[in-house]
Amino acid sequence: MWKLLVPVGLIAAAIIYFSGAFNSGYSRDVERPVADVMATLEGLDVRNEPGSPGTDPSRSGGVLPDFKLEREPGKMTWLVMAGDKVATRMIATLEPIKDGAATRIKASVERGDAPDDITSPAFRSEKITLGLFAAALETQVNKLTMAWGPHCDELAEQLLSGGPAPGSDDRSSLGAAIGSTSRDIMRLGAMDTKMRAAGCDPSQRPAGSAPLQVMPSLPEPTMQDGPPAPDAPRFEPGKPMLDPTVR
């Protein structure tokens, strides 16, 4: 179940997207020439980011946004069109650094003249759109700077054998389940950070590769004799599932 590592990037992107972490701007240096970075960014599609933004016309008065890419030397602009009006412009400037061996990417967003009632929610706010755009840029740049090789499988095995596997903690009560889920997110996040630092992108692992053993088989839940634990969920017809008086 090594695929558990892949959604971590999506979780991180979603956190970035909804927290507005890039409200003050986005900048990243990439150890590749401008031409290589521009070629990679041509494949950028914000609709592939968490929530599939802009893909539901019912959220924008039945108008499905159209995306157009304009290229200039050192600049790429994605126009999000709502009919014949511009909902927003997502702009990436590419500055050569280190004598052209590397590139500094800066992102900005400009709201257009399309009214909100025909604009998808993700593109109504410059702050939200910038967070979404930055996450999409990260996705594309990672495809350029990272890959998956045999050393990545070895590293993954080492990381996964170094502590409790995600999903193995106690989930016998609501409080335990919440705590276990939080620990799982932190464990997977730490694994993802180490994998990416080693140049390994889990989303690029070849299809058909032998699975990594991430999670042990968990026992099936069984009925227990005796009264339930004080903090166990209560299921009684006509009553709340949880007793708010239990501390």
User: Average pLDDT by consecutive 10-residue portion of the chain (247 residues)?
Assistant: 46 46 74 95 91 91 95 97 96 96 96 96 93 91 85 81 60 67 71 77 73 49 54 57 53
pLDDT computed for residue 55 by the predictor: 93
In Å, the largest CA–CA distance within the chain is 74
pLDDT computed for residue 163 by the predictor: 60
Cα 219–220–222 angle (5° rounding)?
Answer: 115
Residue type, position 217, single letter: S
Contacts of 152 (CB under 8 A, 6+ apart): 195, 198, 199, 200, 205
The 3-state DSSP class for residue 98 equals coil
Q: Which helix (H) or strand (E) covers residue 93, if one does?
A: strand 85-97
Question: 24-145 in CATH: which number?
Answer: 3.30.530
Question: Rounded to the nearest 10 degrees, how much is the dihedral formed by the CA atoms of 200, 203, 209, 211?
Answer: 90
Write a three-state SS string for 5-66: HHHHHHHHHHHHHHHCCCCCCEEEEECCCHHHHHHHHCCCCHHHCCCCCCCCHHHHCCCCCE
The residue ranges of every structural domain in the chain are 24-145, 150-204
pLDDT computed for residue 242 by the predictor: 53
The 3-state DSSP class for residue 152 equals helix
- The answer to whether residues 200 and 215 touch, using CB atoms and an 8 Å cutoff, is no
pLDDT computed for residue 9 by the predictor: 47
Helix axes 150-160 and 174-197, enclosed angle (nearest 10) = 150
- The answer to whether residues 78 and 90 touch, using CB atoms and an 8 Å cutoff, is yes
- At 181, list the tokens: 């889920």
Residue position matching structure tokens 């989930």: 171
- The answer to whether residues 93 and 106 touch, using CB atoms and an 8 Å cutoff, is yes
Q: How many Cβ atoms from other residues are within 10 Å of residue 176's Cβ? A: 14
Tell me how far apart the alpha carbons of residues 69 and 67 are, in angstroms, rounded to a whole number. 7
